[in-house]
Amino acid sequence: MSQDSADLVSFRVARRVETGERARSHFADRIFSGLLLGSAWIILIVVCGLLAVLVKASWPALTTIGFKAATLAWSPSDDRYGVLSFAFGTVVTSIIALALAGPMGIAVALFLSELAPKRLAGPVSMLVELLAAVPSVVYGLWGLFVLAPVMRTVVQPALGKWLGFLPLFQGPPLGIGMLTGGVLLSIMILPTVAAIARDVFAAVPIEQREGMLALGSTRWEMLTKAVLPYARQGVIGALVLALGRAMGEAMAVVMVIGNTPAVSASLFRPAYTMASVLANEFTEATGQTYVAMLIEIGLLLFGMSIVVNVIARALVWSVSPKGTRAV
Amino acid sequence: MKQELRTDRLSAFYGAHCAIRDITMTFRPKSITALIGPSGCGKSTLLRCLNRMHEVIANTTVKGQVMLDGSNVYDSGIDTTSLRRRVGMVFQRPNPFPTMSISDNVLAGVRLAGDVSDRSTLAEIAERSLRRAALWDEVKDILNRPGTSLSGGQQQRLCIARALAIEPEVLLMDEPASSLDPISTMKIEDLMREIKTDFTIIIVTHNMQQAARVSDFTGFMLAGEAAPGELIEFDESSKIFTTPQDKRTEDYITGRFG
Ligand SMILES: Nc1ncnc2c1ncn2[C@@H]1O[C@H](COP(=O)(O)OP(=O)(O)OP(=O)(O)O)[C@@H](O)[C@H]1O
Ligand SMILES: [Mg+2]
């Protein structure tokens, strides 16, 4: 064999090896993207399956009660299944929770990621994460035995005294009710906000911070004008996640909200939430419609969290400048 | 001389590690001084000491003096925010603020200072700064688009405009063109020559041709194995690049080194 043809052969071999390798990596790529696509589908299927089961199980209620569910009165023994008071309770307690835990959580996160000395930030971060892992029943018991008395004897009288001109803070301080429920929820979701927001702040590039400092900003201005804006999408994400947890929380709320299907302007009054009525009444529900109605409440709660997520997505969209929108 | 900037036996430390030692040099006003030297010799550290950005990093210390107009910037009475407005900085990687529009980016420093709030004045400042940074023609119709929607080279000129908008006396540039293509690099070099009539410019660069092209003075720095970076030679660029006095400078600029 001449040198030329030998070269040609080795060239061909080399080429074959190369294409073979490329084909193999192609194959691996395909398996990988197939796996990813598969997981994405599984999530979609689970969500749809969940929806289907909820609709099926609540079908008796959906057909017999229908739009009469959009009323206030809840009295299963009289066949009255209005769910608005539960929706009201869920919305009000969640708003209170977010209004308190949002700013607090962001402040804690800023403190941990920006201001606290390393020696302090480590242990405190761990504590915050630990708080997120406490079971909700434990929060509920703490709420009942510690928080409720404090609310009754200290917080609510004070609020009544100083802000009593607002309908929100009128009426007798019962210690049990929407305000206590919201405050308890805020304590429960605080770690979620703080832990996620801390990671989001820590991920803001050093160039952004130094860019602002080099323009002659104070540390505070650097935080508010460079770090917070850069991180705002992630912070909104943290708040939505926390809101989702607040809306879905049942056990802790059951213990402090008073479990009374009522709508009132005063936050001191007892109320009921969708998740807690489900947790509380499901085991004792008798009759097909009653059970189906409770499941319908679950379905509505599911729908509400979807709406909240959509709104949050829209919010993220509207705050991200044009041209840099990430879906 | 007015607006004179000089260092006097300046040393800087990261923890116990000494990065630069006993640097004494004078930066001529309204001219361009280049700092060159192998990686790790402390060019960035020296630059960041000049506007006290060095102390932003934890556990850092500085010894010696940086004199600006006759007063030591490390004196206890000096306010870093006003110092940094007088000594602006452009970073190696373009860092526009992504949530701000192009014009808001340019005006970020002006708004921090808070002494101008009149809309038309702000618009004038934005235009003047963008013109100086040779970016105006490219962005004048898209001032409301986010700063991050520009190309890398445009973003870097945006950052230069942002630094110029607060009318600093000194402009520090740490490898401002190292992440850019040759055309963007040329634009930045051109604009440096344009603006040196108004500002004192100090530029760190790894590109010897760039240093020779744009700078009036050049300082060559070098660090030993475990020794801190020192200023080996400092002279007019024409001399440094043609008749260096120190053997090490010659080795470095002829490429026989590191
Ligand atoms: N954040 C830091 N922490 C600790 N040491 C650092 C830090 N930044 C720089 N150093 C050290 O200081 C010395 C000088 O670094 P510097 O970044 O000033 O060099 P440089 O000349 O700018 O290098 P390059 O050309 O690669 O940018 C190096 O020994 C480096 O290891
Ligand atoms: Mg450097």
> pLDDT digits over B110-128, tens only?
999 887 788 899 999 999 9
Looking up residue B208, the CATH number of its domain turns out to be 3.40.50.300
**Residues contacting B167, CB < 8 A, separation 6+:** none
Amino acid A19: pLDDT:
60
Task: Output the CA B42–ligand 2 centroid distance in Å.
Answer: 7
Say whether A214 and B97 touch across the interface (CB within 8 A): no
Backbone angles phi, psi at A220, to 5 degrees: -65, -45
The ipTM estimated for the assembled molecules is 0.92
Residue B133 near residue B126, CB atoms below 8 Å: no
Among protein residues, the one whose CA lies closest to atom 11 of ligand 1: B19
Q: Is B56 on the interface with A (CB under 8 A)?
A: yes
Domain boundaries, chain A: 65-317
Count of other CB atoms within 10 angstroms of residue A231: 26
Question: Which residues make beta-bridge pairs with B72?
Answer: B67
Residues in chain B predicted with pLDDT less than 70, given as ranges, are 1-3, 257-258
**Structure tokens that stand for B210 in this block:** 């760039």
Percentage of chain A modeled with pLDDT above 70: 90
Specify if B106 maps to a domain.
no
Angle subtended at Cα B66 by Cα B61 and Cα B70, rounded to the nearest 5 degrees: 145
**Intra-chain end-to-end CA distance of chain B, in Å:** 37
Q: What is the CATH number of domain A65-317?
A: 1.10.3720.10
Of A212, A225, A230, Cβ closest to residue B98: A230
* Residue at B138 is within a domain: no
Work out how many domains chain B is built from and give that number.
1
Strand B71-72 versus strand B60-68 pairing type: antiparallel
Q: How far is CA A55 from the centre of its chain?
A: 23
Tell whether B9 is within 8 A of chain A (Cβ): no
* Chain B neighbors of A325, CB-CB under 8 A: none
- The pLDDT, as a whole number, for residue A12 is 54
Alpha-carbon distance of A64 to A102, in angstroms, equals 40
Tens of pLDDT, residue by residue over B225-255, are 888 999 999 999 999 999 999 999 999 988 8
Average pLDDT over residues A268-287: 89
Question: How confident is residue A1, by pLDDT bands cut at 50, 70 and 90?
Answer: very low
pLDDT of residue A17: 54
**Domain presence at residue B145:** no
- Asked if the C-beta of A233 comes within 8 angstroms of chain B's C-beta atoms, the answer is no
* A positions 15-74 inside 8 Å of B (CB): none
Beta carbons within 10 angstroms of residue A3's beta carbon: 7
Higher pLDDT pick, A188 / A288: A188
Residue B111 lies in a domain: no
Please name the residues in contact with B124: beta carbons below 8 A apart, sequence gap of 6 or more.
Answer: none
Query: Would the CB atoms of A321 and B88 count as touching at under 8 Å?
Result: no
The mean pLDDT of A164-187, rounded to a whole number, is: 91
Does the beta carbon of B91 lie inside 6 Å of ligand 1?
Answer: no
CB contacts under 8 A, A 267-326 vs B, are 319-324
Range of the domain at B181: 5-95+173-253
Closest CA to A235 of A306, A320, A121: A320
- B60 lies in a domain? yes
pLDDT in tens, A63-105: 888 888 888 888 888 888 889 999 999 999 999 999 999 999 9
CA distance A177 to chain B (A): 41
Number of helices and strands (H, E) in chain A?
13, 2
DSSP 8-state code for residue A250: -
Instruction: Report the predicted TM-score, pTM, of the whole model to 2 decimal places.
Output: 0.82
pLDDT of residue B41: 93
Examine residue B21 and state whether it is found in any structural domain, yes or no: yes
Q: Which residues pair with B171 in a beta bridge?
A: B88, B201
